[in-house]
Each structure stands twice: as C-alpha cells, then as structure tokens.
Amino acid sequence: MLDIDLPAPTAAIRDLLVIRGIVPALAMLNDRTPYRFTAIYKLNGEVMHAAHAFDRDSEYRTWLKVVPLGKSFCQYAIEQGEFVTSHASEDRRLTSRPYAGMVESYYGRLLTRECGTPYGTFIHFDLEPRSIPTEEIHFLREVIPQFIDYLE
C-alpha cells in the first residue's frame, strides 16, 4: 500500500488529498480496515452516484456506480449523520427493509457542504460481514470533513 511515515494519520490524509487526490486518500483509509470498498457517493435527487471509489481487489464493478437512495444504506447515513452495520442480514434494525442487497457490512458518514446541505456520503462497505473499531470511527469523524474541499 502507500508508504507514508507522518506522525499524525490525520495529517497524512490531508497531505495525500493535496498531493495525490481523493482515490489515494480513500485507499489509505481502506487500508486501515478490513472492508473491500471505500467510496464517496454523491446524492443526486433520489440516486447515489459513486463519485470516487476504491476497491481493494481492483475489480470495481458497474453495479456499484449508481444506487437508488431507497435501496442504499446511505439513506440511513444521510438521515442519521452516520450509520453502521456489521452484518446486515442479521441486523434487527433492517429486518423490515423491502429489499435484499448484496452489501453485508457498511459504515457511512454524511458529507455536507460548507453551507450545510448534504453532498452525499463517505462509506466503507463489503459483501461479507465486517466490523469497524470504535477508535476508527472516531478517526473518520475527524478526517472525513477534509474531503469536501476536493469534491465538485
């Protein structure tokens, strides 16, 4: 992966955004987790578009590029500001959902523009059950806002 030796991970993400751009910064954040995918999805009406994505297996599929908001876990991140499920098919909060997706684990955080309107979401996700440590969630809360300055 990326060999960056900086004292603070937050500064490393900031510097990577400046020097190399969004996808390398997503790759660095992905490397800190077991998730296969890390992405930024842009909200456009009732659809989420993959604005930037990193696939650990380098097999980024077209089915990930556009997702109806109502069939995406992003709807919960947008509503609540943050949403996490480690095993969606066993998550009691999701038993009444009218769809069965392929995504089994998800961490998402709302991205907002400076004026406060939603841009979309930053997400880690996988087709397999995965979990994210609380410390990593705290770290992501710090670094995710840095991405908004690099998004159209």
> 94-134: per-residue pLDDT in tens?
877 655 568 899 999 999 998 999 999 999 999 999 999 99
Q: Do residues 85 and 77 lie in contact, with contact meaning Cβ atoms separated by under 8 Å?
A: no
pLDDT band for position 82 (50/70/90)? very high
Q: Which residue has the higher pLDDT, 62 or 90?
A: 90
| Whole-number pLDDT of residue 31 | 95
* Within a domain: 120: yes
* Within a domain: 55: yes
Residue 126 maps to which CATH number? 3.30.450.40
* Within a domain: 124: yes
| Whole-number pLDDT of residue 143 | 95
- Is it the case that residue 64 has pLDDT exceeding 60? yes
**Residue 121: is it exposed, middle or buried by C-beta count within 10 angstroms (0-12/13-18/19+)?**
buried
| Whole-number pLDDT of residue 102 | 81
Q: Could you give the CA distance from residue 148 to residue 119 in angstroms, rounded to a whole number?
A: 8
* Within a domain: 2: no
- Is it the case that residue 16 has pLDDT exceeding 90? yes
pLDDT in tens, 68-77: 999 899 999 9
| Whole-number pLDDT of residue 62 | 66
Number of folded domains that form the chain:
1
- Is it the case that residue 28 has pLDDT exceeding 50? yes
Mean pLDDT of the chain: 89
Residue range 11-40: mean pLDDT, rounded: 95
Q: Apex CA 93: angle with CA 87 and CA 98, to 5°?
A: 90
Percent of the chain with pLDDT over 90: 74
Q: Which domain holds residue 29?
A: 9-150
